[in-house]
Structure 1
């Protein structure tokens, strides 16, 4: 079983993420162009919703099944993608988040916390690279959704997904680079978790 202090930490982080997710739409009624549909069209928001589930359930119930381990690994991957993409591409961009504390929670604190949780209390079953690559269906589906919805509502969640400012050729090249980076992140998460699991098993002997 996972140490109680780690489980408490999971619940605290889940509560912080949930508080930020609730606070942003509750306080954005006067923001021009803000809609709930657009809010839930941010990858950051969707990945944090999944993080609330993983951290909350992990803290309250601490599941141990291989299926849960794989799901947990996928969400860790999405949150690490969130943190890295924000730091590299979006730190100086307006992503419709006005309050510094919500911005820090969703883009920095929770991504780092869920990664540390994965390393401190890793999956109990090995995760193959094939499984890790299967996690990427979600960011790929998200990209397709954003590109289809964008011209319909004349709004894109992120500048790097907006063909109006860069053209489709530059967009396509950028997305290929991003997908390549996501592949590396997913495989790194799976392998780091396995390495951490081996070290934990070695210490337990």
Structure 2
């Protein structure tokens, strides 16, 4: 791992944590409320990223075991989807949750940061395709919880999940199908790129070890 990566992870985690703190304070003192604040997928995904980056940074500094690659990959998937959905669907809606710079950090900076981290420090070994299926578990649970809670309390975190908007549940079902397809496609891409980079790193490591062994015998 690059020597600068551990402090970089800690720095990014600190920036995101500050943004989440401002977002939480804004929600707690405004009309959103703390419970609804944690109903946003953006908040949950960024909170997970803060934990993963902070633990990864500390592990790099003190020489402890790294964060498991399947966990890192899940965070990459969730935040990349967050950035894509925000950029293509949600950016046009007035956001009452956070202030503008917080939006930029949580929806733009963090997805790019965790994706860069995945590319710079790919998995130590190839991940099985079943890992990608496990990554879909949390979004499915989130969707079920959000729809049930929304039906019970009349509040939905995103307009495309609100059946009260024009189109009703048919529109919600269509939106969920599109987002689910995006999760599958992006998840497969994250897995494929990580495995390709892991294989290339293994190949380079094998060649380097082979050169060292050859040097010792000559």
**TM-score, structure 1 normalization:** 0.92
- Report Cα offsets for 1:131-161 as digits up to 9, x if no partner: 1121011111111111000122211000111
What residue is the counterpart of 1:51 in the other structure? 49
Superimposed CA distance per residue, residues 102-137 of structure 1 (whole angstroms, 9 cap, x where no aligned partner): 111100001100000000101102112221121011
Partner in structure 2 of residue 17 of structure 1: 16
Corresponding residue for residue 139 of structure 1: 139
Which consecutive unaligned segments of at least 5 residues does structure 1 have?
Answer: none
Q: Which moved more, 1:70-79 or 1:37-46?
A: 70-79
8 Å contact kept, 1:25–1:39: yes
TM-aligned CA distance change 1:144 to 1:28, over 3 Å? closer
Tell me which structure has the larger Cα radius of gyration: 2
Determine the C-alpha separation between the residues in 1 that align with 2:159 and 2:84: 16
Shift of 1:30: 4.6
* Partner residue in 1 for 2:148: 148
The structure-2 alpha-carbon separation of the partners of 1:143 and 1:95, relative to structure 1 and needing over 3 Å to count, comes to: farther
Seen in structure 2, the aligned counterparts of structure 1 residues 30 and 37 have a Cα distance that, compared at 3 Å, is closer
Distance 1:184 1:64, change over 3 A: farther
CA contact (8 A) 1:47 1:78 kept: yes
**What's the counterpart of residue 170 of structure 1?**
171
- 3-state DSSP of counterpart to 2:164: helix
CA distance in 2, matches of 1:40, 1:118: 26
Whether 1:34 aligns to 2:15 is no
Secondary structure of 2:188's counterpart equals helix
User: TM-score scaled to structure 2, two decimals?
Assistant: 0.87
- Bigger mean CA offset, 162-171 vs 34-43: 162-171
* Distance in 1 of aligned mates of 2:45 and 2:193: 20
Aligned residues: 202
